[in-house]
Structure 1
């Protein structure tokens, strides 16, 4: 299972506030099947099969354009571990066990 951290920034919106765009993107994620996701204060974490994660990211990237943004900048980090099952929560537990 792949774990992706995605930050999508609408540019040219005429406002410094992005929360309405973030809310729209969370609604887009609710419609995606086969993934899990978590909103954080600075990004969104998406987990699932790599093809479905990429499909979700593409849908997220398109969302601000539909809401009037003239430009969208998307940053993606992907952790695709195939030697053992992994999840965002498992990664956090592993660090906490070592503290």
Structure 2
């Protein structure tokens, strides 16, 4: 399954904290019942490519409408293997098993 890494950064707010904004956009992932993993600086989502594009757009749009920021920077990275099956768990397990 393709993986989407997304980071949405509101700019022009009165506060440097934006965890409440993260909660609002992550709700978009939960609504679609997609598997996801929060990291300190981004969110990784697993799904088919059409789902990932759709949820990325919805997250970006939600950030624009709800954060009160005058500017939003959205960084997206997609990891899409076509030669074999892949998912978040497999990638994490591969690295962790190699560290043993």
How high is the TM-score relative to the length of structure 2? Answer: 0.90
Structure 1 CA distance, aligned partners of 2:32 and 2:12? 27
Instruction: Report how many residues are paired.
Output: 98
CA positional deviation for 1:81: 0.7
SS at match of 2:52: helix
How high is the TM-score relative to the length of structure 1? Answer: 0.91
Structure 2 CA distance, aligned partners of 1:21 and 1:60? 10
Query: Which residues of 2 match residues 20-35 of structure 1 at below 5 A?
Result: 20-33=20-33, 35=34
Structure 2 CA distance, aligned partners of 1:75 and 1:14? 22
CA positional deviation for 1:82: 1.4
RMSD: 1.2
